[in-house]
Structure 1
Amino acid sequence: MKMSGLLNRRSNELAGVVGTVRQIRTGSPVPRKLGAKDVAVLDLNRASPETARALVEAGVAAVVHVPRSGEEMLPRAAFRTLAASTIPVVEDADLSAVDDGTRVRIDEGVVYSVKGEGELASGREAGPATLLAEVDAAETGYIESALAHLANATEFLSLEHPLLLDGEGLPEIDVVFTDRHVVVVTGDLTSESQLHELKPFIKEYRPLLVGVDGGAELLRAARLTADVVVATPTAVSDEVLTDGAVLVVPADRDGRAEGLERVTELGVGATTFPAAATARDMALLLAFHGGAEMIVVTGDERGLENAFGSDSAPSSTMVDTAVSSRLVHAGACATLYRSRGAGIGMALVVLAALVAVAAVVVARDSAQDLLIWAVDMWNTFALWVQGLIR
């Protein structure tokens, strides 16, 4: 169905589809009241087949695909489901910042505000044939990218398997990782918000903090002191280099390291780490082979959606596999900690209630009755709390 062939009287007979923006976040269910007067805005690269079917069943006016910045189409079933329907699909029109509930008009891939008729975003309309051709091409490109990525990862493994398996070549640094929690903060765009969410965890567990390149700046901005900084000296500020953290400088396998002259000028010590790995991967290996109990890492989650993209280092595929038994993503850690904290908070509320009830019993019953009641209530409460923290 071509959008240019549709008219809406309430938009002054202007061509196109008129509807209300409904932002559907990744992992969130499709709103139950979604219907023909709505424009669904979502990332189809991360949409499940169930989500696509729900959009078709709701008969939405249009679907706007908003992928992550710089990301190509992935061969997801959601695209094929929409291609088999009559719902118009608009690509590359970034409506991610448009408020939910905004009335828009879409014509030939251009999105206008109904209220002011100003252009909000410009993309392109993909009909069923175009959409199917694009998803077929995406499938071919995805497999080719995976093969190239895995070939490079295998080459890295052939070079660095002693480092991955046994820690051979790790620099000796004056930091004890044994049986400690470690938080590795990278310079990725998502790290700042993740670090904020991790602050309660950091406050309670006092983990070792490792800043990787821009992640060291994020730690400093959050008023957290890095124990280790793994960074090219030219990529961080003088303040980071002189804050007192143990400085590890990534180097090529032949020992050449960029920016060492800056460290010399500042009069601080540094240890080089020669390896064909990224700074992030070096930080994970230092913690893992150092005996860390758990390693929390910030940054983009590594899934099949982005595992073989241009931003994904082949070394990370092998390093993440090597340290997987102790690796936890920051998002998962923050979620688990919030759940645990909420449970303990509820336990304290219940305990306070028990104390209040006990006061009433003291006022009304005998001491023996109070003792029997208190033992019974305490046993029940203790078992419940144990269930929360397991």
Structure 2
Amino acid sequence: MGKQRWPHRFSYVGKIAADRKTKNLCNRINPSDIAVVDHPDMDEIAALALVRANVRAVINLSPFLTGTYPAEGARRLLEAGIPLYETASADKSILDQADGRPGAVWKEQLWVCSDKGWFRQAELRRLTTKEIGQRWQEANERLDDVLSAFIDNTLRYASAEKEWFLRPLKKLPLRTRLSDRHVVVVVRGRHYREDLRMLSSYIRDYNPVLIAVDGGADALLENGYIPDMIVGDMDSVTDQALLSGAEIVVHAFQDGQAPGKARVERLGISCHLLPAPGTSEDIAMLLAFEEKAKLIVTIGTHSTMIDFLEKGRKGMASTLLVRTKIGSRLIDAKGVSQLYQPRWSWNWTGWLVAATLVPVMAVLSLHPITRHVMQLWWMQWRSWAFLGG
């Protein structure tokens, strides 16, 4: 578009942060940035990450709700008071041209500042809570048809992949011992923060092996834990997490191709390559199972149709097969609070007794009779000590 005069009044102004992948954008976005994404049916996890980043506004080059299923992202952003805009522009080059530049939203237009001045980059349309609610309701009404297609796709792929999952995984020379130990598999999925907080006493008492799936490693670091192992294609984990000392297992395609391996090697980190179909979180659970883990506890894993549709997957064949194979050795974090009681320790007992005695002694020391008795006891002790010396 042509060069324009700077609009003297605007709705929102800030640096533009743009990316084709919202999860990549959320790793580098700053407070008060204007987020520009290309994310149809924005999921709840991505939306909450943008909320935590305190962005000024979100502009989507695709519909926040296409009607395929009731995605929660748009509603979460509006609930947080973040304005949402859509643009019908098919020019995806906006993502490259606008990223990192000063920008502004004015009269439902996106303005970008270049070296030659301010330019009107795209026409926008602001979304209302009412419109998003109507789209969400319409998508919810079509959910039965989506579920039917999802089940058919799951069963078709499960039938095709079952022979692969019946065979053991490639044996890896792991330095991390999993045999007869508790293992916690952490995925940066829905409610992972709450699950981690709920399991804090369990992790402290049992010292389980912490296996992170991609960005789950950053989730562990955020909560003060260091992952023992990271499993995944390495597309959503930070360099900091990869350099934390964890053992790295790169999930590769069945033909052995592994785009994430090059990134790990550039950091000078050794890794294992594990070819397998399915999702990385399924492979992490299966790896723990085949290494004879005593119990496998999952945090933030995907297990519902909406979870998988948000990931862009139209079925959950590998998850069905893996969970069926692992069986009773697998437990979801949300059930641990019902099954697990923290162990009592003498350390805890000592601190509890001390905490109880402090206020009691303080009260007794204020009473005249108690104070007199304590003075007599002190004099008696000093006399005994003097005579004994």
The one-letter code of the counterpart of 1:176 is R
User: Structure 1 residue 302: deviation in Å?
Assistant: 2.5
Q: Structure 1 residues 203, 96: CA separation in 2 closer, same or farther (over 3 Å shift)? A: farther
User: Structure 1 residue 96: deviation in Å?
Assistant: 9.7
User: Structure 1 residue 145: deviation in Å?
Assistant: 2.0
Instruction: Give, in whole Å, the separation in 2 of the partners of 1:343 and 1:266.
Output: 43
The one-letter code of the counterpart of 2:206 is Y
Q: TM-score, normalised by structure 2?
A: 0.51
Partner of 2:166: 161
Instruction: Give, in whole Å, the separation in 2 of the partners of 1:125 and 1:271.
Output: 46
User: Structure 1 residue 231: deviation in Å?
Assistant: 2.5
1:284 touches 1:295 (CA, 8 Å); kept in 2? yes
- What secondary structure is seen at the aligned counterpart in 2 of 1:233? coil
- What secondary structure is seen at the aligned counterpart in 2 of 1:259? helix
User: Structure 1 residue 294: deviation in Å?
Assistant: 0.5
Instruction: Give, in whole Å, the separation in 1 of the partners of 2:151 and 2:280.
Output: 23
Percent identity, aligned pairs only?
Answer: 28
Q: Structure 1 residues 235, 124: CA separation in 2 closer, same or farther (over 3 Å shift)? A: closer
Q: Structure 1 residues 95, 262: CA separation in 2 closer, same or farther (over 3 Å shift)? A: closer
Q: Which runs of 5+ in 2 are unaligned?
A: 1-64, 81-126, 354-389
Deviations 1:55-109 (Å, cap 9, x if unpaired)? xxxxxxxxxxxxx998837xxxxxxxxxxxxxxxxxx9779959xxxxxxxxxxx
Partner of 2:363: none
Pairwise mapping of residues 48-63 of structure 1 onto structure 2 (< 5 A)?
Answer: none
1:94 touches 1:122 (CA, 8 Å); kept in 2? no
Partner of 1:313: 316
User: Structure 1 residue 124: deviation in Å?
Assistant: 8.4
The one-letter code of the counterpart of 2:339 is L
2:131 is the counterpart of 1:142: no
User: Structure 1 residue 173: deviation in Å?
Assistant: 1.2
1:183 touches 1:207 (CA, 8 Å); kept in 2? yes
Deviations 1:165-202 (Å, cap 9, x if unpaired)? xx242423122111100000012132122112211110
Q: Structure 1 residues 245, 137: CA separation in 2 closer, same or farther (over 3 Å shift)? A: closer
- With 282-291 and 143-152 compared, the bigger mean Cα shift is at 143-152
Partner of 1:122: 130
Instruction: Give, in whole Å, the separation in 1 of the partners of 2:288 and 2:281.
Output: 11
1:190 touches 1:300 (CA, 8 Å); kept in 2? no
Pairwise mapping of residues 1-390 of structure 1 onto structure 2 (< 5 A)?
Answer: 72=69, 97=79, 121-123=129-131, 137-162=142-167, 167-300=168-301, 302-303=303-304, 311=313, 313-337=316-340, 340-341=341-342
2:67 touches 2:139 (CA, 8 Å); kept in 1? no
Instruction: Give, in whole Å, the separation in 1 of the partners of 2:75 and 2:232.
Output: 37
Partner of 1:369: none
Aligned length: 236
User: Structure 1 residue 239: deviation in Å?
Assistant: 1.8
- What secondary structure is seen at the aligned counterpart in 2 of 1:122? helix
Q: Structure 1 residues 318, 308: CA separation in 2 closer, same or farther (over 3 Å shift)? A: farther
Q: TM-score, normalised by structure 1?
A: 0.51
Instruction: Give, in whole Å, the separation in 2 of the partners of 1:279 and 1:198.
Output: 22
Q: Structure 1 residues 190, 135: CA separation in 2 closer, same or farther (over 3 Å shift)? A: closer
Q: Structure 1 residues 182, 143: CA separation in 2 closer, same or farther (over 3 Å shift)? A: same
The one-letter code of the counterpart of 1:298 is I
Q: Tell me which of the two structures has the higher relative contact order, counting C-alpha pairs closer than 8 angstroms and 6 or more residues apart.
A: 2
How large is the RMSD of aligned CA atoms in angstroms?
Answer: 4.0
The one-letter code of the counterpart of 1:203 is R
Partner of 1:9: none
2:69 touches 2:146 (CA, 8 Å); kept in 1? no
- What secondary structure is seen at the aligned counterpart in 2 of 1:291? coil
The one-letter code of the counterpart of 2:268 is G
Instruction: Give, in whole Å, the separation in 2 of the partners of 1:218 and 1:185.
Output: 8
User: Structure 1 residue 255: deviation in Å?
Assistant: 1.1
Instruction: Give, in whole Å, the separation in 2 of the partners of 1:183 and 1:171.
Output: 19
2:254 touches 2:277 (CA, 8 Å); kept in 1? yes
User: Structure 1 residue 274: deviation in Å?
Assistant: 0.5
2:205 touches 2:343 (CA, 8 Å); kept in 1? no
Q: Structure 1 residues 96, 253: CA separation in 2 closer, same or farther (over 3 Å shift)? A: same
User: Structure 1 residue 261: deviation in Å?
Assistant: 2.3
User: Structure 1 residue 275: deviation in Å?
Assistant: 0.7
